[in-house]
Amino acid sequence: MSHLVRFSVSLEKELLRRFDYRINEQRYKNRSEALRDLIREDLVVEEWQKNEKVAGTITLVYDHHKRGLVQKLTALQHEYHNIIISTQHIHLDHDNCLEVIIVHGKAHFLDQLASKLKAVKGVKYGNLAMATSGKELV
Ligand code: NI
């Protein structure tokens, strides 16, 4: 286990009340664990901003009947094949497909791929979930 340090924090009563309300809603057992997660979240954002090697998932929902759409999505994924770890495709119903693409590599390339996929005409929903390689986090 890593070395724990205690420190005290001063903040406005109202801010603390709202923080406690939020972490209670999110089922945190104590403020320390909630604060750790907030710090980790911020460090992950920093990893992405600094273009470090990160991981993430891109989720897409689209109608596969849309002319040229599937070809465009496939062409883009081939263009970025070096950062794509795995792709899962689910046929949600007669028309709609859900695709989850797991990506790992330099943050800017992951961002680029997600933006390009989302921008393809006919994509109904596109989302990039920023995760981390986990190496810099405790
Ligand atoms: Ni499908």
| Separation of alpha carbons 21 and 18, rounded Å | 5
- 78 and 90 assigned to the same domain: yes
- 70 and 17 assigned to the same domain: no
What value does the mean pLDDT take over residues 114-132?
97
User: For residue 138, is it within any domain?
Assistant: no
What value does the mean pLDDT take over residues 31-57?
96
Q: Residue length, the chain?
A: 138
- 40 and 58 assigned to the same domain: no
**Alpha-carbon torsion (79, 82, 83, 88), positive or negative:** positive
CA of 109 to the centre of ligand 1 (A): 25
Tell whether the model's pLDDT for residue 124 goes beyond 90: yes
User: For residue 117, is it within any domain?
Assistant: yes
- 114 and 68 assigned to the same domain: yes
CA of 30 to the centre of ligand 1 (A): 43
The pLDDT, as a whole number, for residue 137 is: 86
For the chain, percent of residues with pLDDT exceeding 90:
95
CA of 52 to the centre of ligand 1 (A): 33
The pLDDT, as a whole number, for residue 2 is: 74
Domain assignment of residue 29, given as a range: 13-49
Q: Which CATH number does the domain housing residue 106 bear?
A: 3.30.70.1150
The pLDDT, as a whole number, for residue 1 is: 58
CA of 97 to the centre of ligand 1 (A): 4
Query: In this structure, are residues 132 and 95 in contact, taking their beta carbons and an 8 Å threshold?
Result: no
The pLDDT, as a whole number, for residue 28 is: 96
Domain count for the chain, please give it.
2
- 62 and 114 assigned to the same domain: yes
CA of 25 to the centre of ligand 1 (A): 36
| Separation of alpha carbons 66 and 40, rounded Å | 40
